[in-house]
Amino acid sequence: MDRMKTLEALVSAFGPSGCEGEISRVIEKLAAPFVDEISRDTMGNLICRKKGGGPRVMFSAHMDTIGLVATHIDEKGFVHVGPLGGASAARALYTPVRFQNGTKGLLCADMGADLSKLKAEELVVDIGATDRDEAERLVQVGDAVVYDTPTRMAGNRVISPCLDNRIGCLVLLLAMERLGETDNDLYVVFSTQEEVGCRGAKTAAWAIDPDYGIAVDVRGADDVPGAKHDVTALCGKGAAVNVMDHSVICHPDMVKRLLALAGEQGIPVQRGVSRRGGTDAGPIHQTRAGVYTGGISIPCRYVHTPVELVDLGDVEACAKLAAAFAMSKLDRKL
């Protein structure tokens, strides 16, 4: 699998929360050669299964991204929007954007607005329309919009929109490509609506009823200018094995197993702690009577901006660690 070609296909596919159809179809095509069956549930989760007679192992990487949604079109043709997930006005202002039908525009705000207090719901999209009638021929209330910035390399690091969490999807695709023989019954879930409350993973985990669960997602990086040290992961230092975040305290035996696998296979690894944010691990670990749950994260700078950044060495480390866990000898209980 060509890593960059695959990533470009993933980040260019439309798929904010609630609109994951296009990205789901892209991932389905990429995943099909590596699994025995693929299905979708009512929430739109893409569930890829590699059958086995052993414990059920669920990996989850959300395929939705943050975005904005059209809430009103004014008489001058400006499209007023509100947030889908954690979109920030300060981080998004004057960013090129696109709607699902290809209509492009620019995020802007009232020229007299106090930018220090600007909220996402005060943003508007200038699509070049001269009035409401022209705008309504291009965009409807309820249409979603995403960042339309380019993907580019900076050394061994990639800068792109939508790395949260298309890079996690890439990690699982790379891990699937590496899979050999295993008795484990593997479910690789590309989940929906994580950015608005981890909704897809909740229903997928309930249906699968896994013995083990691992969320694969980005993790805020601590090596950014002015870091407040509320996260611990560093870009370029390997896979982040999650210890805890706002949504989960990972099972200590899962943390121990992931760190041990990394040590045995020479995979660069670091411990990940965050005082904010959450992942699909949150709903997974509380499913039914509880699930042994851990997390593998890709350190990411500038999360939820139009220009997120990750190190490709970390991506490779995460893929190796996910594959190692998938193929490891697991009992029904740790």
8-state DSSP, 84 = E
pLDDT at 159: 98
Is the C-alpha dihedral spanning 246, 224, 174, 146 positive or negative? positive
User: Hey, what are 224's tokens?
Assistant: 């950014």
8-state DSSP, 210 = -
pLDDT at 273: 94
Residue pLDDT, tens place only, 282-294:
999 999 999 999 9
Distance CA 146, CA 306 (A): 9
- Contact, 304 vs 218, CB < 8 A? no
Which among 88, 84, 87, 86 is positioned nearest to 69, based on CA atoms?
A: 84
Phi, psi of 161, rounded to the nearest 5 degrees: -75, 165
The number of helix segments (H) and strand segments (E) in the chain equals 9, 17
So which residues are the catalytic ones?
A: 194
Burial zone of 236 (CB within 10 Å; 0-12 exposed, 13-18 middle, 19+ buried): middle
* Domain boundaries defined on the chain: 3-65+161-327, 67-147
Which CATH architecture best describes the domain 67-147? Answer: Beta Barrel (2.40)
Beta strands 269-273 and 308-311 are unpaired
3-state secondary structure of 43: coil
The overall average pLDDT reported for the chain is 96
pLDDT at 111: 85
- Single-letter amino acid code for the residue at 134: E
Q: Which helix (H) or strand (E) holds 114?
A: none
Tell me the mean pLDDT in the region 122-127: 96
Which among 67, 315, 40 is positioned nearest to 173, based on CA atoms?
A: 315
Within this chain, domains 3-65+161-327 and 67-147 share the same CATH topology: no
Beta strand spans in the chain (E): 37-40, 46-50, 56-62, 67-73, 79-84, 96-99, 104-108, 124-126, 144-147, 152-154, 157-160, 185-191, 212-220, 239-244, 269-273, 292-300, 308-311
pLDDT at 250: 97
Tell me the mean pLDDT in the region 38-52: 97
Distance CA 156, CA 3 (A): 12
Q: Is pLDDT of 235 > 70?
A: yes
The whole-model pTM stands at: 0.96
Q: Which residue has the higher pLDDT, 213 or 226?
A: 213
pLDDT band of residue 333 (cuts 50, 70, 90) is low
CATH 3.30.1330.40 fits 3-65+161-327, yes or no: no
- Contact, 211 vs 330, CB < 8 A? yes
- Contact, 83 vs 68, CB < 8 A? yes
